[in-house]
Amino acid sequence: MSIGFEAHNHDACVATGVAQAQAYCAKEGLKMTPTRQRVLEILLRHHRAFGAYDILEELRNDGLGSQPPVVYRALDFLIKHGFAHKLERLNAFVACSHPGQDHAPAFLICNDCGSVAETQTSPEKSQLREAARKAGFTVEATVLEADGTCPLCTTDGSPA
Amino acid sequence: MSIGFEAHNHDACVATGVAQAQAYCAKEGLKMTPTRQRVLEILLRHHRAFGAYDILEELRNDGLGSQPPVVYRALDFLIKHGFAHKLERLNAFVACSHPGQDHAPAFLICNDCGSVAETQTSPEKSQLREAARKAGFTVEATVLEADGTCPLCTTDGSPA
DNA sequence: TTGATAGTGGTTATATTATAACATATCAAA
DNA sequence: TTTGATATGTTATAATATAACCACTATCAA
């Protein structure tokens, strides 16, 4: 369960993810508005890379805004506060698997089935941080992504 | 000199970079065509993140093709054979600083001055590879990028 | 209660990045 | 010299993202 390709109960993912985000927002004085919550739910439900325009289409179906800025603004909020991440390699988005933790996420992205696993790294041990330190470079954010084939697709050629 | 933010002779960069690429192509039976070479020269000369449409504008000035596919095809070739890399965070491109080596590059990207340093990592030691191994995930390619502030911009607020 | 302010959302328009599809050209091998 | 593979030229469009402006709402101070 630690890495994320195993099957699991997405309803629970969605419920706990939304609850955690709501709790965090209440504590920090942030506004979890209907649009933001809906975008988070969409990301949690799919639990895979999801493009901004795919999210937008679902939002539209819910009557919650139909223009790109709506979804990009919601994503900005979710990313800023750690509820979601952008996959730079795919220009797509995923819900955070470890919300509430200050973390340097890394992603394993399956090219076959599109599933995405978020893993934690230890910034103090990373080669990237070490290289930055040596160079006198101040790191603000890191992007750590691997493309490849997930165990399910490796084994039998078909996704979960 | 190991990391890449220091000032250095770009003419030499360009000359040696092109020569190395030509040698590699000759050895491998690849074609270093005028367009491809010109795109490589542009990347080497600027030695920073350079967008596809910025490259295209320079190509146009040289009469070497004026439509997007021209530059994207050249970039595909250069990237495929290790002469250039894409910075996913910026949707931009840089010449490779270590051509001819089979490597897992990592980048330090200065948000102030736009300079980019390419550093080497040891795949066998990386936390991303380790996480992949644990998950049974087969890695095909990795993206390792850090945003932040380079030593020159940290020190005095102005780029080199 | 009013009015100032900040944050959010709606909308139009447009910018930026990238590729599909098809025609033409080049070149080397059969 | 035909063939096949690779490369280039071109048109059109897809996919991703943001600027700019206006309206609404909540909050809070006067």
Q: How far is CA B78 from CA B24, B93, B98, B103, in A?
A: 12, 10, 13, 15
| Cβ neighbours, 10 Å, residue A51 | 14
Burial of A27 (0-12, 13-18, 19+ CB in 10 A): exposed
Per-residue pLDDT of chain A (160 residues; tens, 9 = 90+): 445 677 667 788 789 999 999 999 998 889 999 999 999 999 999 888 999 999 999 999 988 888 999 999 999 999 999 999 999 999 999 999 877 667 789 999 999 888 999 998 888 888 999 999 999 999 999 999 999 999 999 875 444 4
- Residue A137 DSSP one-character state: P
Q: Which residues in chain A have their CB less than 8 angstroms from residue B106's CB?
A: 127-128, 131
Q: Which helix (H) or strand (E) holds B11?
A: helix B10-28
Structure token pair of residue B134: 């644990």
Give the residue from A125, A128, A154 with the most B CB atoms within 10 Å of its CB, the best one to mutate: A128
The B-side interface with A (CB below 8 A) comprises 2-5, 88-89, 106, 108, 110-111, 117, 119, 121-122, 125-129, 131-132, 134-151, 154
Taking the C-alpha atoms of residue B139 and residue B130, their distance in angstroms, rounded to an integer, is 10
Determine the distance between A67 (CA) and C12 (C1') in angstroms: 10
Taking the C-alpha atoms of residue B82 and residue A143, their distance in angstroms, rounded to an integer, is 20
Q: Give the closest nucleotide to B75 (alpha carbon vs C1').
A: C18
Residue nearest to nucleotide D11 (CA to C1'): B67
pLDDT given for residue A1 in this prediction: 42
Tell how far CA A93 is from the center of its chain. Answer: 6
Q: Which residues in chain B have their CB less than 8 angstroms from residue A134's CB?
A: 2-3
Please give the interface size between A and B, counted as residue pairs whose CB atoms are below 8 Å apart.
Answer: 152
Determine the distance between B28 (CA) and D2 (C1') in angstroms: 27
Nearest to B12 by CA among B47, B37, B61: B47
Look at A3 and B146 and tell me if their CB atoms are within 8 Å: no
Per-residue pLDDT of chain B (160 residues; tens, 9 = 90+): 445 677 667 788 789 999 999 999 998 889 999 999 999 999 999 888 999 999 999 999 988 888 999 999 999 999 999 999 999 999 999 999 887 667 789 999 999 888 999 998 888 888 999 999 999 999 999 999 999 999 999 875 444 4
Q: Give the closest nucleotide to B67 (alpha carbon vs C1').
A: D10
In this complex, the answer to whether residue B77 has its CB under 7 A from any atom of chain D, a nucleic strand, is yes
**Which tens digits make up the pLDDT trace of A3-31?**
567 766 778 878 999 999 999 999 888 99
In this complex, the answer to whether residue A148 has its CB under 7 A from any atom of chain D, a nucleic strand, is no
